[in-house]
Amino acid sequence: MTPRPPDRSPRAGFTLIEIIISITLFALVAGICYAAFHLGTRAVVKGEEAVVTAQRLRVATDVIIRQVKSMVPQGAVGDDGDKATTYAFFSGTTSSLEFVTEAGQLSGGGRTRVRYEVRSDPPALVLTESPYFDAGSLAKGIDPDAVSATILDGFRSLTFEAISTEDETELERVHSWNYQDREMLPQAVVLRIEGLNGFEQDIEQWIPVMSAAHRDSEADLQEEQDCEEFEDSGGGKTGLGNGSGGAGGGSETGGGDTDPGDGGD
């Protein structure tokens, strides 16, 4: 029996060039998929951060708006300590605000002295409240043991401005407000936030001071009420004068009473 010679025909398979091309294509597809997955993951994380930042911003601005709108012209003595002369207390710079409000938050509500301060390292907005104050203590710094809380962070810069209308012609942005020099509350407070995480644009919020906004209207209303009371009082006097005239008319009747006496004669 003759042995079968071995089969020396080439076997089917991939060449080295084909394998290299396949690996290269696989790497390209995997890189594209990874980039898309990474981009989607980053978008989700950024979206969550933006939602959280928006919620914190809304809470912070709600507190600031409520307290600024509820600002009251609490009397404070000047630097000389003369208690006979008081001024509407409001002190402000680009990095801090200090005033008295009816909407306390950290101290359980009610009238309280508040201070907003922007700290730089790291950037944060801190609210401090003290419900214990008087005309003399307002001229001094706020109690260092007062309760405080950070209400906003994660921004590049935060500034305050006060709006004044002393010339009664146009609004003026004031970067520094001294209550002894101004002797009044501002018309509004402007809050500007730059570089907040999750926000591409800067944020600017105008907050009106309600006690200052209604100051002129209340004065006009009081003047109208005084005029009405004066008119009512004057009208009453006129009525009494008419009544006196009526009594004078009675004297004519008295003149008529003399006629029978004449006739008797």
List of long-range contacts for 128-136, beta carbons under 8 Å, 24+ apart: 129/104, 129/105, 131/104, 131/107, 133/74, 133/100, 135/74, 135/75, 135/76, 135/77, 135/83, 135/86, 136/77, 136/81, 136/83
pTM over 0.85: no
**Model pLDDT, residue 41:** 87
pLDDT digits (tens, 9 = 90+) for 185-204: 999 999 999 998 878 889 99
Structure tokens at 105: 């938050």
Helix (H, G, I), strand (E, B) or coil at 143: coil
Q: Between the CA of residue 105 and those of 5, 67, 95, 206, what are the distances in Å?
A: 99, 9, 21, 21
Measured distance CA(154)–CA(49) in Å, rounded: 11
Kindly report which listed range (77-86, 116-125, 142-151, 158-167) carries the lowest average pLDDT score: 77-86
Strand locations in the chain (E) = 75-77, 86-88, 90-93, 96-101, 112-120, 123-130, 147-153, 157-164, 172-174, 188-194, 203-208
Binned at pLDDT 50, 70 and 90, residue 168 comes out as low
Contact 89, 96 (CB under 8 A): no
**In this structure, what DSSP letter does residue 220 have?**
H
**Model pLDDT, residue 9:** 57
Binned at pLDDT 50, 70 and 90, residue 145 comes out as confident
pLDDT digits (tens, 9 = 90+) for 28-44: 999 999 999 988 888 88
What mean pLDDT comes out for the span 66-81?
A: 87
Binned at pLDDT 50, 70 and 90, residue 264 comes out as very low
**Model pLDDT, residue 248:** 40
pLDDT digits (tens, 9 = 90+) for 203-254: 999 999 987 654 544 444 344 445 445 455 554 443 334 433 433 444 333 4
**Model pLDDT, residue 1:** 54
What mean pLDDT comes out for the span 47-61?
A: 87
Binned at pLDDT 50, 70 and 90, residue 66 comes out as very high
Structure tokens at 81: 């300590």
Q: Hey, what's the torsion of the CAs at 138, 139, 143, 146, to 10 degrees? A: 40
Measured distance CA(262)–CA(265) in Å, rounded: 5
Percent of the chain past pLDDT 90, that is, above it, reads: 39
